[in-house]
Protein backbone atom coordinates (compact mmCIF):
# COMPACT_ATOMS: atom_id res chain seq x y z
CA UNK A 1 0.00 0.00 0.00
CA UNK A 2 1.10 3.52 -0.71
CA UNK A 3 0.53 6.70 1.23
CA UNK A 4 1.91 10.19 1.47
CA UNK A 5 1.95 12.58 4.42
CA UNK A 6 2.39 16.31 4.11
CA UNK A 7 3.66 17.44 7.46
CA UNK A 8 2.40 21.02 7.37
CA UNK A 9 -1.10 22.10 6.40
CA UNK A 10 -0.03 25.74 6.14
CA UNK A 11 3.35 27.41 5.62
CA UNK A 12 3.87 31.16 5.63
CA UNK A 13 7.12 32.79 4.52
CA UNK A 14 8.26 36.28 3.62
CA UNK A 15 8.90 37.19 0.01
CA UNK A 16 12.53 36.53 -0.89
CA UNK A 17 13.09 33.91 1.84
CA UNK A 18 13.48 30.15 1.31
CA UNK A 19 10.52 27.79 1.05
CA UNK A 20 10.42 24.27 2.49
CA UNK A 21 7.34 22.07 2.09
CA UNK A 22 7.72 18.68 3.72
CA UNK A 23 6.50 15.34 2.43
CA UNK A 24 7.02 11.78 3.64
CA UNK A 25 5.90 8.75 1.69
CA UNK A 26 5.26 5.08 2.25
CA UNK A 27 5.47 2.56 -0.54
CA UNK A 28 6.02 -1.17 -0.76
CA UNK A 29 7.99 -0.77 -3.97
CA UNK A 30 10.09 1.86 -5.68
CA UNK A 31 7.78 4.83 -6.05
CA UNK A 32 7.41 7.66 -8.49
CA UNK A 33 6.88 10.92 -6.64
CA UNK A 34 5.40 14.19 -7.84
CA UNK A 35 4.67 17.67 -6.62
CA UNK A 36 1.63 19.45 -8.06
CA UNK A 37 0.54 23.04 -7.49
CA UNK A 38 -3.03 24.33 -7.48
CA UNK A 39 -3.69 28.03 -7.74
CA UNK A 40 -7.17 29.30 -6.79
CA UNK A 41 -9.72 28.52 -9.48
CA UNK A 42 -7.08 26.86 -11.63
CA UNK A 43 -6.26 23.27 -12.44
CA UNK A 44 -3.51 21.13 -10.96
CA UNK A 45 -0.14 21.76 -12.56
CA UNK A 46 2.89 19.48 -12.36
CA UNK A 47 5.88 21.13 -10.68
CA UNK A 48 8.31 18.22 -10.85
CA UNK A 49 8.59 14.45 -10.64
CA UNK A 50 11.03 11.79 -9.47
CA UNK A 51 11.16 8.50 -11.35
CA UNK A 52 14.29 6.70 -10.04
CA UNK A 53 16.82 8.74 -11.97
CA UNK A 54 18.66 11.61 -10.25
CA UNK A 55 17.61 12.05 -6.64
CA UNK A 56 17.66 15.85 -6.89
CA UNK A 57 14.91 16.92 -9.24
CA UNK A 58 14.51 20.40 -10.66
CA UNK A 59 11.10 21.67 -11.63
CA UNK A 60 9.42 24.75 -12.94
CA UNK A 61 9.48 28.21 -11.36
CA UNK A 62 12.71 27.53 -9.45
CA UNK A 63 11.39 24.68 -7.33
CA UNK A 64 13.33 21.52 -6.65
CA UNK A 65 12.94 18.41 -4.53
CA UNK A 66 15.28 15.76 -3.20
CA UNK A 67 14.36 12.09 -2.95
CA UNK A 68 15.83 10.55 0.23
CA UNK A 69 15.10 6.85 0.41
CA UNK A 70 16.61 6.43 3.88
CA UNK A 71 14.27 9.08 5.25
CA UNK A 72 11.33 8.24 2.93
CA UNK A 73 11.09 11.94 2.20
CA UNK A 74 10.56 14.12 -0.85
CA UNK A 75 10.64 17.69 0.42
CA UNK A 76 10.01 20.62 -1.92
CA UNK A 77 12.26 23.68 -1.74
CA UNK A 78 12.78 27.02 -3.39
CA UNK A 79 15.62 29.41 -2.52
CA UNK A 80 13.60 32.61 -2.74
CA UNK A 81 9.82 32.88 -2.49
CA UNK A 82 7.82 35.06 -4.84
CA UNK A 83 4.32 36.40 -4.28
CA UNK A 84 3.09 34.35 -7.23
CA UNK A 85 4.08 31.14 -5.39
CA UNK A 86 1.11 31.49 -3.05
CA UNK A 87 -0.98 28.39 -3.75
CA UNK A 88 -1.85 24.88 -2.54
CA UNK A 89 0.88 22.28 -3.04
CA UNK A 90 0.28 18.54 -3.20
CA UNK A 91 2.80 15.74 -2.80
CA UNK A 92 1.79 12.67 -4.79
CA UNK A 93 2.99 9.06 -4.92
CA UNK A 94 2.56 6.55 -7.71
CA UNK A 95 4.27 3.38 -8.69
CA UNK A 96 1.89 0.63 -9.43
CA UNK A 97 1.13 -0.69 -12.87
CA UNK A 98 -2.23 1.05 -12.93
CA UNK A 99 -0.55 4.46 -12.54
CA UNK A 100 -3.08 5.31 -9.86
CA UNK A 101 -1.78 8.20 -7.80
CA UNK A 102 -2.32 9.04 -4.16
CA UNK A 103 -2.42 12.69 -3.07
CA UNK A 104 -1.33 14.14 0.22
CA UNK A 105 -3.72 16.44 2.04
CA UNK A 106 -1.93 19.52 0.72
CA UNK A 107 0.09 22.42 2.10
CA UNK A 108 -1.15 25.95 1.67
CA UNK A 109 1.75 28.31 1.02
CA UNK A 110 1.27 31.96 1.92
CA UNK A 111 3.79 34.65 1.03
CA UNK A 112 4.12 37.76 3.21
CA UNK A 113 5.20 41.00 1.47
CA UNK B 1 -3.99 24.82 -20.32
CA UNK B 2 -3.09 21.11 -20.09
CA UNK B 3 -5.21 20.01 -23.03
CA UNK B 4 -7.77 18.28 -20.82
CA UNK B 5 -11.14 20.00 -20.76
CA UNK B 6 -14.14 19.57 -18.50
CA UNK B 7 -17.69 20.76 -18.83
CA UNK B 8 -19.42 22.42 -17.10
CA UNK B 9 -16.97 24.31 -14.91
CA UNK B 10 -19.63 24.99 -12.30
CA UNK B 11 -22.91 23.28 -11.48
CA UNK B 12 -25.49 24.20 -8.85
CA UNK B 13 -28.29 21.73 -8.33
CA UNK B 14 -30.96 20.84 -5.82
CA UNK B 15 -30.76 17.75 -3.69
CA UNK B 16 -32.29 14.78 -5.46
CA UNK B 17 -31.54 15.95 -8.98
CA UNK B 18 -29.26 14.12 -11.40
CA UNK B 19 -26.15 15.74 -12.83
CA UNK B 20 -23.71 14.72 -15.55
CA UNK B 21 -20.19 15.96 -16.12
CA UNK B 22 -18.03 15.54 -19.19
CA UNK B 23 -14.28 15.19 -19.59
CA UNK B 24 -12.36 15.42 -22.85
CA UNK B 25 -8.83 14.05 -22.38
CA UNK B 26 -5.77 14.69 -24.51
CA UNK B 27 -6.66 12.87 -27.70
CA UNK B 28 -3.85 10.30 -27.80
CA UNK B 29 -4.12 9.39 -24.11
CA UNK B 30 -5.44 5.90 -23.46
CA UNK B 31 -6.13 6.22 -19.74
CA UNK B 32 -8.60 8.54 -18.04
CA UNK B 33 -9.04 9.06 -14.29
CA UNK B 34 -11.74 10.71 -12.19
CA UNK B 35 -11.03 12.27 -8.79
CA UNK B 36 -13.08 14.12 -6.21
CA UNK B 37 -11.66 16.98 -4.14
CA UNK B 38 -13.46 18.37 -1.13
CA UNK B 39 -12.57 21.63 0.57
CA UNK B 40 -9.19 21.53 2.30
CA UNK B 41 -8.35 18.04 1.06
CA UNK B 42 -6.28 16.50 -1.69
CA UNK B 43 -8.02 14.84 -4.62
CA UNK B 44 -9.25 11.28 -4.01
CA UNK B 45 -9.37 8.61 -6.68
CA UNK B 46 -12.83 7.60 -7.91
CA UNK B 47 -12.36 5.46 -11.02
CA UNK B 48 -10.29 5.01 -14.14
CA UNK B 49 -10.58 3.75 -17.71
CA UNK B 50 -8.16 2.17 -20.10
CA UNK B 51 -9.62 3.00 -23.48
CA UNK B 52 -13.33 2.19 -23.03
CA UNK B 53 -12.90 -0.33 -20.23
CA UNK B 54 -13.53 0.77 -16.65
CA UNK B 55 -10.80 -1.04 -14.73
CA UNK B 56 -11.31 0.06 -11.14
CA UNK B 57 -13.84 1.85 -8.96
CA UNK B 58 -13.13 3.26 -5.53
CA UNK B 59 -15.43 2.46 -2.64
CA UNK B 60 -16.11 6.21 -2.62
CA UNK B 61 -18.13 5.62 -5.78
CA UNK B 62 -21.54 4.68 -4.45
CA UNK B 63 -24.30 3.13 -6.55
CA UNK B 64 -25.56 6.61 -7.34
CA UNK B 65 -22.40 7.30 -9.34
CA UNK B 66 -21.74 5.94 -12.81
CA UNK B 67 -18.98 6.69 -15.27
CA UNK B 68 -18.63 5.81 -18.93
CA UNK B 69 -16.12 6.19 -21.70
CA UNK B 70 -18.06 4.71 -24.60
CA UNK B 71 -15.61 5.15 -27.45
CA UNK B 72 -12.43 5.43 -25.51
CA UNK B 73 -12.32 9.18 -25.96
CA UNK B 74 -14.42 11.50 -23.78
CA UNK B 75 -15.89 10.33 -20.50
CA UNK B 76 -18.99 11.19 -18.51
CA UNK B 77 -19.59 11.00 -14.77
CA UNK B 78 -23.22 10.93 -13.66
CA UNK B 79 -24.48 11.38 -10.14
CA UNK B 80 -28.07 10.34 -9.54
CA UNK B 81 -30.22 11.65 -6.67
CA UNK B 82 -27.57 14.12 -5.57
CA UNK B 83 -26.96 14.69 -1.86
CA UNK B 84 -25.38 17.67 -0.14
CA UNK B 85 -22.34 15.52 0.62
CA UNK B 86 -21.68 15.24 -3.10
CA UNK B 87 -20.67 18.91 -3.18
CA UNK B 88 -17.05 18.91 -4.30
CA UNK B 89 -14.71 19.57 -7.17
CA UNK B 90 -14.67 16.70 -9.67
CA UNK B 91 -11.38 16.40 -11.53
CA UNK B 92 -10.45 14.46 -14.61
CA UNK B 93 -6.94 13.49 -15.68
CA UNK B 94 -5.44 11.56 -18.58
CA UNK B 95 -2.17 9.80 -19.43
CA UNK B 96 -0.56 7.61 -22.02
CA UNK B 97 0.17 4.37 -20.22
CA UNK B 98 1.90 1.58 -22.03
CA UNK B 99 2.93 -0.46 -19.02
CA UNK B 100 5.76 1.68 -17.75
CA UNK B 101 4.43 1.44 -14.22
CA UNK B 102 3.48 4.73 -12.72
CA UNK B 103 6.04 7.16 -14.06
CA UNK B 104 3.67 9.00 -16.32
CA UNK B 105 2.53 12.51 -15.54
CA UNK B 106 -1.21 12.87 -15.15
CA UNK B 107 -2.60 15.90 -16.95
CA UNK B 108 -5.54 17.41 -15.12
CA UNK B 109 -8.51 19.30 -16.37
CA UNK B 110 -9.75 22.46 -14.60
CA UNK B 111 -12.46 20.54 -12.77
CA UNK B 112 -16.21 20.83 -12.34
CA UNK B 113 -17.29 22.42 -9.09
CA UNK B 114 -20.59 20.96 -7.89
CA UNK B 115 -22.78 22.57 -5.26
CA UNK B 116 -25.81 20.64 -4.06
CA UNK B 117 -28.36 22.79 -2.25
List pLDDT tens digits, range A41-97. Answer: 778 999 999 987 788 999 999 999 999 999 999 999 999 999 999 999 999 998 666
**A46/B99 Cβ within 8 A:** no
Q: How many CB atoms lie within 10 A of CB B83?
A: 12
Helix, strand or coil, per DSSP, at residue A10: strand
Looking at residue B79, the DSSP 8-state letter turns out to be: E
Q: Are A93 and A102 spatial neighbours (Cβ–Cβ below 8 Å)?
A: yes
pLDDT at B101 over 60: no
pLDDT band per the 50, 70, 90 thresholds, residue A30: confident
- Report d(CA B74, CA A91) in Å as an integer: 27
**B106/A99 Cβ within 8 A:** yes
Size of interface A-B (CB pairs under 8 A): 65
Amino acid sequence: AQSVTQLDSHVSVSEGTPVLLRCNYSSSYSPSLFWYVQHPNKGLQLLLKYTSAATLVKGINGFEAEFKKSETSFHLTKPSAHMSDAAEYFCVVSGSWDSKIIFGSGTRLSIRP
Amino acid sequence: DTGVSQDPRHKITKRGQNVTFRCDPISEHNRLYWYRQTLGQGPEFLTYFQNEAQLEKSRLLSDRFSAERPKGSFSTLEIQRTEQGDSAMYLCASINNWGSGGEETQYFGPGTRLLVL
